[in-house]
């Protein structure tokens, strides 16, 4: 809640407490510490914390996904992709990991794989707006306007106040790609 310095101090004390022997609690504490480090921009520290959490419990798909995000922030795209794939191997419908791997692939110019990942993410969770947004942006950039418009419309169904989707549909209307009536 905006008190990351305090959270880091408490969690660091907890993970180094010699009396803490409950591996599940220790794994959660390392994971939470990784989250606070990442939120604070301390991605190298986040990597170490997530690795410690995963050494205790390698079935934590969210830790794998967040490890991927930390690696990606550090520019290590190979390690990021591997971490996302590990999360997906544990939970095949992990929409965040699917979306994050898709975004990574899109940034690398692999539109086909990115689209497949975004579509898998929205199939896993049809209400997951970040994947719909990435899919809409990818389709728009690929000049696949009919499909992109469907995605933008879906975003507005899910989030009626989504400014980016509204802007995209307004621009499409101005360009004569759709009628001016929006959902």
Q: List, for residues 140-163, the tens digit of each pLDDT value.
A: 999 999 999 999 999 999 999 999
CB 83 within 8 A of CB 67: yes
User: Of 13-22, 71-80, 123-132, where does mean pLDDT reach its minimum?
Assistant: 13-22
Closest residue by Cα to residue 122 from 155, 163, 84: 155
In the block, tokens 């898998």 appear at: 120
pTM to 2 decimal places: 0.90
166-180: average pLDDT? 84
Query: pLDDT value at position 142?
Result: 95
Q: Using CA of residue 172, residue 128, residue 83, residue 7, what is the dihedral sign? A: positive
Residue-wise DSSP of 121-176:
HHHH-TT-HHHHHHHHHHHHHTT-HHHHHHHHHHHHHH-TT-HHHHHHHHHHHHTT
Q: For the segment 82-96, what is each residue's pLDDT rounded down to a tens digit?
A: 999 999 999 999 999
- Please report, rounded to a whole number, the percentage of residues in the chain having pLDDT higher than 90: 83
Query: pLDDT value at position 5?
Result: 82
Tell me the pLDDT band of 2, cut-offs 50, 70 and 90.
low
Query: pLDDT value at position 124?
Result: 97
* Other residues' Cβ atoms within 10 Å of the Cβ of residue 40: 14
Tell me the pLDDT band of 3, cut-offs 50, 70 and 90.
confident
CB 94 within 8 A of CB 65: yes
112-120: average pLDDT? 98
């Amino acid at each position: 809640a905006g008190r990351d310095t305090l959270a880091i101090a408490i969690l660091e004390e907890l993970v180094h407490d010699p009396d803490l022997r409950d591996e599940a609690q220790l794994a959660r504490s390392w994971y939470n510490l990784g989250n606070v480090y990442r939120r604070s921009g301390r991605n190298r520290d986040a990597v170490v914390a997530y690795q410690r959490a995963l050494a205790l419990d390698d079935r934590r798909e969210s830790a794998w996904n967040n490890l991927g995000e930390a690696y990606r922030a550090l520019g290590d795209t190979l390690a990021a992709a591997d971490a996302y794939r590990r999360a997906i191997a544990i939970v095949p419908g992990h929409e965040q990991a699917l979306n994050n791997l898709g975004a990574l692939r899109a940034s690398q110019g692999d539109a086909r794989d990115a689209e497949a990942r975004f579509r898998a993410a929205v199939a896993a969770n049809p209400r997951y707006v970040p994947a719909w947004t990435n899919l809409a942006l990818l389709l728009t950039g690929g000049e696949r306007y009919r499909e992109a418009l469907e995605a933008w419309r879906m975003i507005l169904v899910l989030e009626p106040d989504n400014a980016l989707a509204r802007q995209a549909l307004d621009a499409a209307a101005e360009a004569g790609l759709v009628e001016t009536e929006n959902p």
